[in-house]
Amino acid sequence: MKLLFTFFNPSGGMETLNRIRGQALTEAGHEVHLLYTSGGEGRKNITDLPVHILSDPAAIGQHVLAGGYDAIVVCTDIWTMEHIREAGYRGRIVFEVQGLGRIEEARAVMAEFSGHIRRHADGLLFPRTDHLVALMKQHLPDVPQFCFDNPLDTSGFGYVAYPPKPYPIVGWIGRITANKNWREFIAIGERLLAANPSIYLWMFGDATLFEPLEQEAFELWLASSPYAERLIRHSNVPHGQMADYLSLIGDSGGLLCSTSHLEGFGYAVAEAMLCRCPVLSSDSDGIRRFVQPEATGMLYPVGQVDIAVRRALELMNDRQRRERIRERGQAHIRATFSKEAYAKRFGGMLKKVMAAPPRR
């Protein structure tokens, strides 16, 4: 089949998801195209799939009608879905939800827009995340629902051995936004630096994407904190190099810290585990697909900095526990989130959606 995946911009977890599943579905015999309504730094990571950057609704409609797509997966962007239908597209549309921010934001979005989704979508797709499952059942129980894990490149992305750094590194990946909760990472990092001044904090993200008020507060911290000299920012690292950085963090005796209020899937955490980088994460719902406490990683209640610091120090200082978590974490990701498993589940979804009569 000829498939189109749409999203706002090629950045973050959605860039990773579209690229990896594009590869998986191509290998399974499908023709896959990507459409974004704006450009982004993550575009440079996509080298083997056709990518279309279109923002004008008329241009999007013309492209879809000329493209001959059997099915279109529209992630989050309700207006693009409407533009596609209004242009006259009569093929199948699956509306995808990967994450809608904090829980109150997610509830508000679903309450306001469920009618639009019901009117235009032939099915719903979302990862195995409790809050998304509950929201879909509450607001769209009459629309066919498909819930399965996102894929990772478990064969091409993973641990790379380098000479270890002479200092522990505590990493963080995300945009400077309220939901990603960068303030809590800084609070945890300051406490860890007080306990071990040799630590470095590495922050990874897209410097072009942020919430203005959050960015202003972050820049104020950078200008005023005595700990700012221990923080190194890495912006728009090519995805292929992230395995190197995550492996370095793991071998340094450090960890990846995830502080989000809410996650739908959380690619940063899964990819860290794939690279043998131990993870301490806030208990942000979707993260539990990866982090089984004390087995494949460690969790703390969001907002509880004291608990987070204590568990981070345990993970860094207890070598036996640390190595056990690294090994089990890597094995869990490899066994559960392969591209092949995703392609099989996605193919099953397509068969059901295509076999059902159109919903309009």
Number of domains in the chain: 2
- Mark whether 59 and 205 lie in a shared domain: no
Same domain? For 39 and 120 the reply is: yes
Pair (86, 185) in one structural domain: no
Q: Is residue 37 part of a domain?
A: yes
Q: Which domain holds residue 193?
A: 169-336
The per-residue pLDDT for 102 is 78
Assigned domain for 320 exists: yes
HSE toward the beta carbon, residue 127, CA cutoff 13 A: 24
Q: Do 141 and 189 have their domain in common?
A: no
102 or 75, which is more confident: 75
Residue 351 lies in a domain: yes
Residue 157 inside a domain? The answer is: no
Residues 317 and 206 in one domain: yes
Same domain, 222 and 332: yes
Q: Give 242-294 pLDDT, tens digit per residue.
A: 999 999 999 999 999 999 998 888 899 999 999 999 999 999 988 999 999 99
Beta partners for residue 126, in sequence order: 147
- Residue 99 scores a pLDDT above 80: no
Are residues 143 and 212 located together in one domain of the fold?
no
What's the chain's average pLDDT?
A: 95
Residues 320 and 346 placed together within one structural domain of the fold: no
Q: Look at residue 161 and tell me if it is in a domain.
A: no
- Same domain (yes/no): 145, 259: no
Domain harbouring 318, CATH code: 3.40.50.2000
Query: 54-74: per-residue pLDDT in tens?
Result: 999 999 999 999 999 999 999
Same domain, 316 and 342: no
